[in-house]
């Protein structure tokens, strides 16, 4: 399903977070968003997921308009996301965190309350365990999320994305942050796997090696403005774009949220 | 252990278990809705008077009266959520509007109850109740019933939160409301169940207070204030906190009346609450986020 963002604008306390930003992401495509700190990357994800309101502009997922909808409705329409700082339900176990992301588990509150541990939950539990094993987190299934390290939380967050099978658009906010090189490779494989399933993916990523390797296109933001949109190899050749990253203290692994 | 100590602990357990039934729903509504729900006192009151009608007008037995109390309060919780709080949530009203609306509901229900039953104090169980002695402490049959049923309900609630899907959703939303929305959990749907369950427990607590002490239209406000104190002492953000807070409150209250005149009970309780604000504002089990 295609994501279309049209002239998105948002100001916070007189500061422009986003100014007339437009872009599209097709099904089976990865659009990376890069830019220095405060360039508007996370704000853009927050607006798409309904956690922040836009001042102006429009967003469509396929033929469905997302602007004005509540976060839970947007999620139900097929939008899943991860967060800049991995975010889990701290009081729930690792396994429960994954099961909560399974949409079939939430169908019909009355049946849910009567059902308890039912067929759907058994299926969700099996799927969750498969993902946890792949991510090397199976041993932590009954551990409270609050007790995990930052890297472990990031892995569980990836597992949660894998559980959201119905999602057609994935918004990933620095999914490789806090991961060691080995786990970063697994995360990249997970993201590639999701792309091969036809998901549209928006990737905010600080690791430019990952962007070069995985992204089909990259959009560069600076102070809320779109500065470039194209293939990573072409965009990062542009001297003006290189200056943005150097100005933000960047190099090939620059931190630019 | 002296019989005085056993009696003090026993009385504290009985009082604490009843307070816990009220505090759980109050704290959950705060966690998920982000406001102090004064209408929790209204459902307590309706549960109490519903139980009184079941016992004395309809001449039901105690088990059936418990069901009537839970049903009356649960139904009132559904009406309050559907007619008022759900609409406020959809219009994204600020928490002060929720609070004032809930206070309005409490005052309206108090007035309605007073119109039907008068302002006088109602005694549910006139005359002495049969009792037995336990390690030197005197415990009435009614108290044993209250203690056993309260603990059974608390245990059932623990199972519900950990074994059922909606229980886990309630824990998830109480943990991180924004994340819950982002993964597609309906916060309003969860809030509905919190109102139903929390109100039913408060309703049963209303009946128990009537059986153990007395009830009058002002009892709803007292119950919600005590639930607030228990929740703050235990820590509103946790599940175990309000329960522990309720037992602590029960202990403080029963200890206070042995040391000071009973009129000073509320003064002692609120003085300790203020101490909590200074020394441990997040409560015993609360987490600073």
Q: Do B165 and A121 touch (CB under 8 A)?
A: yes
- In B9-28, the residues whose Cβ lies within 8 Å of chain A are none
Predicted local confidence at residue B238, as pLDDT? 80
| Chain B contact for A105 (CB, 8 A cutoff) | yes
Whether residue A112 and residue B165 make contact (CB cut-off 8 A), yes or no, is yes
Of A75, A90, A115, the CB nearest to B184: A75
Name the nearest CA neighbour of B47 among B73, B8, B76, B65. Answer: B73
**Cα–Cα dist B33/B39, whole Å:** 13
Q: What is the mean pLDDT of residues B126-145?
A: 86
Q: Does residue B63 sit within a domain?
A: yes
Residue B190 counted as domain residue = yes
Task: Confirm whether B135 is domain-assigned.
Answer: yes
Which one of A51, A87, A112 makes the best mutation probe of the B interface by having the most chain B beta carbons within 10 Å?
Answer: A112
Q: How far apart are CA A201 and CA B16, in angstroms?
A: 52
Contact criterion met (CB < 8 Å) for A164 and B176: no
> A187-196: long-range contacts (C-beta < 8 A, 24 or more apart)?
A187/A154, A187/A158, A188/A213, A188/A214, A190/A134, A190/A135, A190/A158, A190/A161, A190/A162, A191/A30, A194/A161, A194/A162, A194/A170, A195/A28, A195/A29, A195/A30, A196/A28
* Residues in chain A where the model's pLDDT stays below 50: 249-257
Rounded mean pLDDT of B140-146?
A: 92
The verdict on A101 touching B (C-beta cutoff 8 Å) is yes
Asked if A35 has any chain B CB less than 8 Å from its own CB, the reply is: no
Tokens for A94?
A: 């690792």
Closest residue in A to B189 (Cα–Cα)? A109
Cα angle B252-B255-B260, degrees, rounded to a multiple of 5: 110
CB contact under 8 A, A89 and B193: no
Residue with tokens 């049923």: B149
How does the average pLDDT of chain B come out, rounded?
92
Q: How far is A172 from chain B (nearest CA, A)?
A: 13
8 Å CB contact of A100 and B176 = no
CA dist., res. A109 & res. B166, Å (int): 7
Helix, strand, or coil (residue A168) = coil
Asked whether the beta carbons of residue A99 and residue B171 sit closer than 8 angstroms, the reply is no
Q: Is residue B231 part of a domain?
A: yes
Rounded to 10°, the helix B141-163/B187-212 angle is 170
Q: How many CB atoms lie under 10 A from the CB of residue A252?
A: 11
Nearest CB partner across the interface for B183, out of A51, A75, A121: A75
CB-CB neighbors (< 8 A) of A90 in chain B: 175-176
Cβ distance of A76 and B184 shorter than 8 Å: yes
Query: Residue B183 and residue A113: Cβ atoms within 8 Å?
Result: no
Residues of A in contact with B157 (CB under 8 A): none
Residues of A in contact with B169 (CB under 8 A): 100, 106, 112
**Is A112's CB within 8 Å of B166's CB?**
yes
Q: What is the rounded distance in angstroms from the CA atom of residue A89 to the CA atom of residue A15?
A: 32
Question: How far apart are the C-alpha atoms of A240 and A222, rounded to whole Å?
Answer: 11
The answer to whether position B287 is within a domain reads no
**Would you say residue B265 lies in a domain?**
yes
Interface contact A121, partner B, CB < 8 A = yes
- Of A112-121, B47-56, B120-129, the one with minimum mean pLDDT is A112-121
Interface of B with A in 102-141 (CB under 8 A): none
Helix, strand or coil, per DSSP, at residue A177: coil
- What does the alpha-carbon distance between residue B93 and residue A176 come to, in Å, rounded to a whole number? 38
**Inter-chain CB proximity A92 and B165 less than 8 Å:** no
pLDDT at position A110: 54
What is the arithmetic mean of pLDDT over B66-79?
A: 97
What's the per-residue H, E or C state across chain B?
A: CCHHHHHHHHHHHHHHHHHHHHHHHHHHHHHHHCCCCCHHHHHHHHHHHHHHHHHHHCCCCHHHHHHHHHHHHHHHHHHHHHHHHHHHHHCCCCHHHHHHHHHHHHHHHHHHHHHHHCCCCECCCCCCCCEEEECCEEEEHHHHHHHHHHHHHHHHHHHHHHHCHHHHHHHHHHHCHHHHHHCCCCHHHHHHHHHHHHHHHHHHHHHHHHHHCCECCCHHHHHHHHHHHHHHHHCCCCCHHHHHHHHHHHHHHHHHHHHCCHHHHHHHHHHHHHHHHHHCCCCCCCCCC
**Element of type H or E holding A181:** helix A181-196
Q: Which residue of chain A comes nearest to B90, CA vs CA? A: A70
Question: What residue of A is the nearest CA neighbor of B239?
Answer: A91
Distance CA(B30)–CA(A50), nearest Å, equals 23
Q: Taking CB atoms and an 8 Å limit, are B172 and A75 in contact across chains?
A: no
The three-class DSSP label of residue A182 is: helix
Which residue range forms the structural domain that includes residue B70? 3-279
Inspect the interface and report whether the beta carbons of B182 and A49 lie closer than 8 Å: yes
- Which residues contact residue A71 at a Cβ distance below 8 angstroms, ignoring those fewer than 6 apart? A49, A50, A51, B178, B181, B182
CB of B225 within 8 Å of a chain A CB? The answer is: no
A26, B83, B149 from B18: Cα distances, Å: 58, 28, 10
Q: Which two tokens stand for residue B3?
A: 């019989």
What integer pLDDT is reported at residue B100 of this predicted model? 97
CA distance A239 to chain B (A): 38
pLDDT digits (tens, 9 = 90+) for B187-239: 888 999 999 999 999 999 999 999 998 999 999 999 999 999 999 999 987 88
- Each residue's pLDDT tens digit, B211-220: 998 999 999 9
Q: What is the pLDDT of residue B204?
A: 97
| Tens digit of each residue's pLDDT (9 = 90 or more) over B9-45 | 999 999 999 999 999 999 999 989 889 999 999 999 9
Predicted local confidence at residue A247, as pLDDT: 64
Distances (CA, A) of A154 to A88, A161, A227: 9, 11, 30
* Residue B90 belongs to some domain of the structure: yes
For residues B70 and B57, is the Cβ–Cβ distance under 8 A?
Answer: no
Q: Is A107 on the interface with B (CB under 8 A)?
A: no
CATH code, domain carrying B203:
1.10.3470
Give me the sign of the Cα torsion angle B266, B43, B16, A116.
Answer: negative
Encode burial over A19-40: b for 16+ CB neighbours within 10 A, e otherwise: bebebebebebbbbbbbbebbb
Q: Does the distance separating the beta carbons of A72 and B184 come in below 8 Å?
A: yes
- Subunit contact A72:B179, Cβ cutoff 8 A: no
Q: Domain count of chain B?
A: 1
| Residue that wins the pLDDT comparison between A16 and B75 | B75
Cα–Cα distances in angstroms (integers) from residue A91 to residues A6, A87, B19, in the given order: 38, 12, 24
Contact B164, A57 (CB under 8 A): no
Question: Tokens in use for B223?
Answer: 């119950």
Task: Please tell me which of the candidates B164, B176, B186 has its beta carbon nearest to residue A113.
Answer: B164
Cβ contact, residue pair B189, A90, below 8 Å:
no
B254 touches chain A (CB under 8 A): no
Answer yes or no: is B153 within a domain: yes
Surface of B (162-201) touching A: CB under 8 A: 163-166, 168-169, 171-172, 174-176, 178-187, 189, 192-193
Verify whether the Cβ–Cβ distance B193 to A76 is below 8 Å. Answer: no
């Amino acid at each position: 399903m295609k994501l279309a963002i049209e002239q998105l604008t948002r100001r916070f306390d007189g500061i422009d977070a986003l100014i007339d930003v437009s872009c599209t992401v097709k099904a089976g495509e990865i659009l990376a968003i890069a830019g220095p700190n405060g360039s508007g990357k996370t704000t853009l994800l927050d607006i798409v997921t309904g956690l922040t309101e836009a001042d102006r502009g429009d967003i469509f997922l396929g033929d469905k308009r997302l602007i004005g909808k509540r976060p839970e409705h947007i999620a139900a329409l097929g939008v899943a996301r991860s967060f800049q700082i991995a975010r889990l339900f701290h009081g729930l176990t690792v396994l429960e965190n994954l099961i909560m992301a399974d949409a079939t588990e939430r169908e019909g509150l009355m049946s849910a309350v009567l059902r308890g541990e039912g067929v759907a939950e058994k299926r969700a539990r099996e799927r969750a365990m498969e993902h946890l094993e792949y991510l090397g987190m199976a041993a932590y299934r009954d551990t409270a999320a609050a007790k995990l390290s930052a890297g472990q939380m990031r892995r569980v967050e990836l597992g949660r994305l894998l559980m959201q099978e119905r999602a057609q658009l994935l918004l990933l906010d620095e999914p490789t942050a806090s991961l060691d090189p080995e786990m970063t490779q697994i995360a990249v494989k997970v993201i590639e796997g999701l792309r091969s399933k036809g998901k549209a993916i928006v990737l905010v990523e600080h690791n430019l090696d990952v962007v070069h390797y995985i992204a089909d296109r990259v959009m560069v933001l600076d102070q809320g403005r779109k500065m470039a949109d194209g293939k990573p190899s072409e965009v990062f050749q542009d001297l003006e774009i290189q200056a943005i990253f150097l100005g933000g203290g960047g190099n090939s692994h620059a931190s630019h949220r | 252990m002296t019989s005085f100590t056993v009696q003090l602990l026993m009385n504290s357990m009985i009082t604490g278990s009843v307070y816990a039934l009220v505090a759980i729903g109050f704290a959950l509504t705060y966690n998920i809705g982000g406001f102090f729900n004064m209408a929790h006192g209204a459902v307590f009151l309706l549960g109490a008077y519903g139980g009184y009608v079941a016992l004395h007008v309809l001449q039901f037995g105690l088990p059936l009266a418990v069901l009537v109390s839970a049903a009356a309060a649960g139904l009132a919780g559904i009406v309050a959520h559907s007619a008022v709080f759900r609409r406020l949530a959809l219009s994204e009203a600020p928490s002060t509007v929720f609070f004032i609306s809930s206070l309005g509901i409490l005052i309206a229900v108090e007035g309605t109850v007073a119109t039907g039953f008068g302002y006088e104090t109602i005694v549910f169980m006139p005359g002495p109740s049969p009792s037995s002695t336990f390690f030197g402490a005197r415990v009435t049959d009614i108290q044993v019933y209250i203690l056993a049923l309260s603990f059974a309900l608390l245990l059932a609630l623990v199972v519900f939160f950990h074994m059922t899907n909606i229980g886990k959703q309630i824990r998830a939303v109480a943990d991180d409301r924004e994340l819950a929305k982002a993964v597609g959990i309906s916060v309003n749907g969860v809030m509905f169940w919190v109102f139903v369950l929390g109100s039913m427990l408060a309703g049963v607590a209303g009946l128990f207070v009537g059986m153990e002490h007395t009830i009058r239209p002002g009892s709803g406000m007292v119950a919600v204030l005590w639930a607030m104190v228990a929740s703050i002492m235990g820590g509103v953000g946790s599940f175990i906190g309000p329960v522990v807070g309720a037992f602590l409150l029960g202990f403080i209250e029963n200890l206070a009346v042995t040391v000071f005149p009973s009129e000073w009970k509320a003064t002692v309780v609120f003085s300790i609450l203020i101490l909590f604000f200074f020394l441990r504002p997040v409560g015993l089990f609360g987490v600073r986020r």
